[in-house]
Amino acid sequence: MLGELLNPYHLQIVSFVLINIILGISIYITLSSGQLSLGNAGFMGIGAYTSALLTINFEVPIILGIILGALVAGIFGILIGIPALRLSGVYLAIATLGFGEVMRVIFVNWESVTQGAIGLSGVPHLGREVFKTLTAIGFDPEILGLKNNQFIYLIVVSILLLINIFIVWFFVRQNKSRVGRAFAAIKMDEKAAESMGIDITYYKVLSFTQGALLAGFAGALYAHVMAYISPADFAYHRAIEILIFSVFGGSEVIWGAIFGAAFMTIMPEALRFISEYRYMIYGAILILMMAFRPQGIIDVSLLQWFKKIIKFRKGTDHGTGIKKRH
């Protein structure tokens, strides 16, 4: 039964959704301390190329490659984050966009290492590698009633899902803590935050670096899910796409970025039947959003409304009435 339900094409889309969610969170994290970075496509590229080159040329295990890819992107995050402290708003956005372009040009022109515009093919595939290890110890996907390629895509989706759950858990907790409050304070009023004893430099670089690290992580995963990367994957349209995840879904809360990434990945696929017109709809939705809900679909008040509904349901279910809040 499972075998009929799982269509590799759908699984592939789900894995794109999950990678894009990580990218959405990566821009949300930098935004949560009031910094608009459009360099996340560049950091994504650094993660992707680092992991791909290490696994292809040095036979580094995929897991180690992905971790190193994320770390290298994180180190670049610190290096870019420190001079970026002098900039804010639109100026920071343009400077980071410029950084992304520089990275793309490096990927194109450093042909001896990156193969230039042709890109890197033969990147070890995450699903296939896990599959190889599992079959080596005598596992057969037939037990689950699955064909090999169904099983491979299922592995990818499961791993990505676990990673997503961990990342969301991590940042939800961070947001509710002293660190999250410091980010929010800086976003709302930098001078006041500084007067309250918050080390602006440290927290801004921290959030910038966390964003870069996550984008690098997503990039490394992308390389091993696609098995092929080229500089065009990390060009400026990707930077804008990541921005749209957060702007469309809502940039105030982590759930906004998650929703935005999921919706914006699934919609073009779901609208495939109207072929070329779907990008028109995509554009129309964005214009309508900016006109009627500039804060994005999900904002703080929507979440509070949602929580109230859940409380209300629970209250009536148990016949205990609604808890009143003063």
Which residues of this chain interact with another protein, rule CB under 8 A?
170, 173-174, 177-182, 184-185, 188-189, 191-200, 206, 300, 325-326
User: Rounded to whole angstroms, how far apart are CA atoms 288 and 272?
Assistant: 21
DSSP classification of residue 229: E
DSSP classification of residue 288: H
Of the two residues 191 and 272, which places its CB atom closer to another protein in the complex?
A: 191
Quote the least distance from Cβ 52 to another protein, whole Å: 28
Of the two residues 237 and 307, which places its CB atom closer to another protein in the complex?
A: 307
161-168's contacts with Cβ under 8 Å and 24+ in sequence apart are 161/18, 163/18, 163/22, 163/221, 164/18, 164/21, 164/22, 167/22, 167/25, 167/214, 168/25, 168/254, 168/258
Provide the residue type at 241 as one letter: E
Quote the least distance from Cβ 249 to another protein, whole Å: 18
Query: Cα dist. 9→154, 266, 268, 304, 318 in Å?
Result: 11, 12, 14, 36, 43
Quote the least distance from Cβ 252 to another protein, whole Å: 8
Of the two residues 155 and 254, which places its CB atom closer to another protein in the complex?
A: 254
Of the two residues 194 and 269, which places its CB atom closer to another protein in the complex?
A: 194
Quote the least distance from Cβ 260 to another protein, whole Å: 20
Burial zone of 88 (CB within 10 Å; 0-12 exposed, 13-18 middle, 19+ buried): middle
Of the two residues 110 and 305, which places its CB atom closer to another protein in the complex?
A: 305
Quote the least distance from Cβ 7 to another protein, whole Å: 36
Of the two residues 196 and 309, which places its CB atom closer to another protein in the complex?
A: 196
Assess contact for 77 and 145: CB atoms under 8 A.
no
Of the two residues 181 and 293, which places its CB atom closer to another protein in the complex?
A: 181
Dihedral over alpha carbons 294, 297, 301, 307 (to 10 degrees): 180
Quote the least distance from Cβ 184 to another protein, whole Å: 6
Collapsing DSSP states into helix, strand and coil, what is residue 293?
Answer: coil
Burial zone of 128 (CB within 10 Å; 0-12 exposed, 13-18 middle, 19+ buried): middle
Quote the least distance from Cβ 149 to another protein, whole Å: 37
